Structure 1
Amino acid sequence: MKVLRASGVVAGLAVAGAMLSAPVAQAVVPLSCDGGQPVATDTITAKSTTYGSIIIELRYSPAHACAWGRIRGGRIGDSVVVSRRWNGNPSDVEYDLGKATITSGSDVFTPWFDDDGHTMSACAENDSTQTVYACTGWY
């Protein structure tokens, strides 16, 4: 579960004519990004690789702890697929967690998924032949 911490608010207390300040507890708001559209403004490319003209990227938002896959320079029918591995048990992998296929143009990205306590990777493949071109490393 992700938490978003709201800005701290300072409450004042007057004691014997002096003003004392103490931070008030911060609100905790749970976040979930599984299956949603990436909306982060703090995005980084955590891992990337190439296959010919195709650039395969695992994108990541530190603020949301969510990751997604993107391919650039692909052809119609090329797909990007993300998989998630549980850090507590590296053999427990959710393969093909999210997938997006180029239907026009040359770029596409998957929905984003929770990456807190997990590692993820992105692979490019050809949708019709199911040939995996290349995968990023785990991040």
Structure 2
Amino acid sequence: MNFVDPKEYSYPGLVRKNRYKTILPNTHSRVILKSEDEEDFLSTYINANYLKGYDGEEQAYIATQGPTVNTVGDFWRMVWQERCPIIVMITNLEEKNEVSESMKSCFIATSILCKQLRTEGVVDILKTTCQLRLDR
């Protein structure tokens, strides 16, 4: 398991940018929004991480929380900045808890494993799952 120390994100006002207080982005793979004021952490923050793809492809995917009223602008800034060609939303229309995070990882893992199967004829579920946990 990979856990982020909440102290790493102890910035005033940041709580309104996270859907859940227990799901925080890993610092090493966090998407950083471009901003006119790069010193203003809140203007560069989005709860999103780059994920490696098949064969270690860097930044093949981005996993993020569903945007809220407070983060919808940041979400679309990220989509534009990162030139995201596809957006996949995997959640119930009414979220009741934090289960959508695992559904998202399952979808991305399936995509990676399908590429591996086509290329190598085998899949390494454990390696793929561990890499996703390290990234997100």
TM-score by length of 2: 0.26
Q: Which structure's residues are more often strand, by fraction?
A: 1
Q: Which structure's residues are more often helix, by fraction?
A: 2
TM-score by length of 1: 0.26
Rg comparison, structure with higher value: 1
